[in-house]
Amino acid sequence: MGEERPLPSVVARMWGREPVTRRGPRPRLDLATITAAAVEIADAEGLAGVSMASVASRVGVAATALYRYVGSKEELLTVMADGAAPLPPEPEGRHWRAYLEVWTRAQRDILLGHPWLLAVARLAPPLGPRRLLWLDRALAALGGTGLHDGEKVNVATALTGYALTDAALVHSMAGGHPQLEEAGIEGAADYGEMLAEVLDPDAYPALAAAMRSGAMGGGEGGWVEDADFVFGLNLLLDGVETLISRRSGTAP
């Protein structure tokens, strides 16, 4: 076997893999306390309110004291992304599809509950124990399906990406996007009306027709937040089901 690869400092801290020293006084802080404080600030003020100074003030220490635990704001964001995640739902014998429906919706709910995660989650793959536990449970649910491990990871990645994209859309439609907010766009219907106003039917014939038909307005066949999420999720899971059927030789 080759030499053990050194872990990035923030990863070593999240996994408790840093060397333990018995010298000196017992530290006043720990990474969990710092992470919880940073998450509280982000929930209340957004990422703009999170800095080494603001977190240090929240936990009652000088900003320089935080650098023993997190070396930069980027590292702080990494531990925040992991710390904001609750424990994943357990498969508990559920069929893989039923479990992944719950699993994907739960990820979307986390993002809607912590909108600042929409920016952080795009920056890096999961590195901490909480987020990787989510990945483990998705792979476990797909056990026995005939998919190989790479395909299982790709399924989990696709579903995570869908949860992220859908949560970003819902957040924007709810007033989370400055340009939409400035225009007084308060939902999908308003957005559809704006597009219908600006789209040239000659240049965008299909899209213009869809907007004029009320496709974003929640009417017949229109955009409805949860129904839209379920529709897209079922498309993805139908594709996974087809792939599993091919592996088992039962696909038509």
List the chain pLDDT tens, one digit each, 252 residues. Answer: 456 778 888 888 889 887 665 554 556 789 999 999 999 999 999 999 999 999 999 999 999 999 888 999 999 999 999 999 999 999 988 999 999 999 999 999 999 999 999 988 776 788 899 999 999 999 999 999 999 999 999 999 999 999 999 998 888 777 656 665 655 666 667 777 888 888 888 988 898 898 888 777 654 444 456 888 999 999 999 999 999 999 877 655
**Cβ burial 193-221 (10 Å sphere, 16+ → b, else e):** ebbbeebeeeeeeeebebbeebbbbbeee
Give me the pLDDT at residue 221, please.
Answer: 44
In 3D space, the residue among 247, 246, 88 whose CA is nearest the CA of residue 159 turns out to be 88
Give me the pLDDT at residue 19, please.
Answer: 66
Q: At what angle do helices 225-248 and 96-113 cross, to 10 degrees?
A: 140
Residue 181 amino acid letter: E
Residues with Cβ within 8 Å of 5's Cβ and at least 6 positions away in sequence, in order, are none
Give me the pLDDT at residue 180, please.
Answer: 58
Residues 125 and 151 in one domain: yes
- Give the end of a domain, one of 83, 110, 144: 83
Residues 32, 83: contact at Cβ < 8 Å? yes
Give me the pLDDT at residue 219, please.
Answer: 47
Give me the pLDDT at residue 61, please.
Answer: 92
Query: Taking the model in full, what pTM does it have?
Result: 0.84
Give me the pLDDT at residue 195, please.
Answer: 82
What total number of domains does the chain contain? 2
Residues 76 and 171 in one domain: no
CATH label of the domain that carries residue 62? 1.10.10.60
d(CA 189, CA 174): 11
Give me the pLDDT at residue 220, please.
Answer: 46
CA distances from 5 to 1, 2, 8, 162 (A): 11, 9, 9, 32
Residues 40 and 122 in one domain: no
d(CA 48, CA 52): 12
Would the CA dihedral through 167, 172, 173, 176 be positive or negative?
Answer: positive
Residues 75 and 101 in one domain: no
Residues 100 and 162 in one domain: yes
Q: Which domain holds residue 23?
A: 9-83
Residues 230 and 135 in one domain: yes
Residues 182 and 231 in one domain: yes
